[in-house]
Amino acid sequence: MIKLAIYGKGGIGKSTVTANLSAALAMLGKRVIQIGCDPKADSTGNLLGGTPVMPVMNYLRERDDEPESIEEISKIGYGGVLCIETGGPTPGLGCAGRGIVSTFSLLEELKLFEKFKPDAVLYDVLGDVVCGGFAVPIREGYASKVLIVTSGEKMALYAANNINSAVNNFADRGYAKVRGIVLNRRNVENEEQKVRDFAEKTDLPIIADIPRSNDIIHYEDMGKTVIEGDSSLEVSKRFLALAQLLIDEDEQND
């Protein structure tokens, strides 16, 4: 099974990359779950035509009780992708990291993987690994590989370096390993070279190069991924190529 956690600086395009990758995997015939692990709960919107799923933390807050089925806290989106959002506590209150711990524990109790039997699970995680809760997706049993999304912007590369260091700190715990970098271009000066320098320094490959594209924004305004909107676009082909690479690697591991 493909088990991926996608990390990167806030606003760098993690949710865009994750949703398009989920859609691409689905288009290639895979059964996919996408779990947004950000209190903003905006990971899966473009798989759901803009009609969001109720985040798990909202459910718990409003009902004061745990759901009894996966259906109560999920929605099926484009290509049959099962969409879940952890959400978070009321802004300024509670503990968002704990929200992720609680959500993952709940999904385990509801036997999500046993029931849905996915071929791929994608975790779209908040910008930085700020506390234990945000490292849960890379623990044993969840993601086995991490993708770091970055542009050539200084702060994006800074965050990428922090994420890589955090994951490496857990090397002796059997956590997920960083598989590579997804370059999500912002068209800054010398962007490719800056990211290549970072990749070389951290000994990580750039496994996808996503061009800056107005098509992404165009289809996002319609609540869609570019894969759903027009899979023949160059940007869509990049996501499909990344999906195929991950499928091939997974099949080799089997």
Of 140 and 234, nearer to other proteins (C-beta) is: 140
Catalytic residue of the set 42, 119, 128, 215: 128
b/e map 154-188, b = 16+ CB within 10 Å: eebbebbebbbebbeebeeeebbebbbbbbbbeee
The H-or-E segment that residue 183 falls in is strand 177-184
Neighbouring-strand partners of residue 125: 37
Measured distance CA(183)–CA(239) in Å, rounded: 12
Of 105 and 193, nearer to other proteins (C-beta) is: 105
Active site residue 128: yes
Of 93 and 203, nearer to other proteins (C-beta) is: 93
Rounded least distance, CB 247 to other proteins, Å: 29
Rounded least distance, CB 133 to other proteins, Å: 5
Catalytic residue of the set 40, 42, 209, 250: 40
Catalytic residue of the set 9, 145, 194, 224: 9
Residues that bind other proteins (CB under 8 A): 95, 97-98, 100-101, 131-133, 135-136, 139-140, 170, 172-175
Catalytic residue of the set 14, 30, 75, 224: 14
Active site residue 14: yes
Rounded least distance, CB 146 to other proteins, Å: 16
Of 131 and 217, nearer to other proteins (C-beta) is: 131
- Among left, alpha and beta (phi > 0; psi -120 to 50; other), residue 240 is alpha
Rounded least distance, CB 11 to other proteins, Å: 25
Active site residue 9: yes
Q: What are phi and psi of 44, to 5 degrees?
A: -105, 0
Q: What are phi and psi of 189, to 5 degrees?
A: -60, 135
Active site residue 40: yes
Q: Nearest CA to 239 among 147, 115, 145?
A: 147
How crowded is residue 230: how many other Cβ atoms within 10 Å of its Cβ? 13
Of 65 and 254, nearer to other proteins (C-beta) is: 65
One-letter-per-residue 3-state SS of 131-160 = CHHHHHHHCCCCCCEEEEEECCCHHHHHHH
Rounded least distance, CB 35 to other proteins, Å: 16
Measured distance CA(149)–CA(14) in Å, rounded: 6
Q: Which residues are catalytic?
A: 9, 14, 40, 128
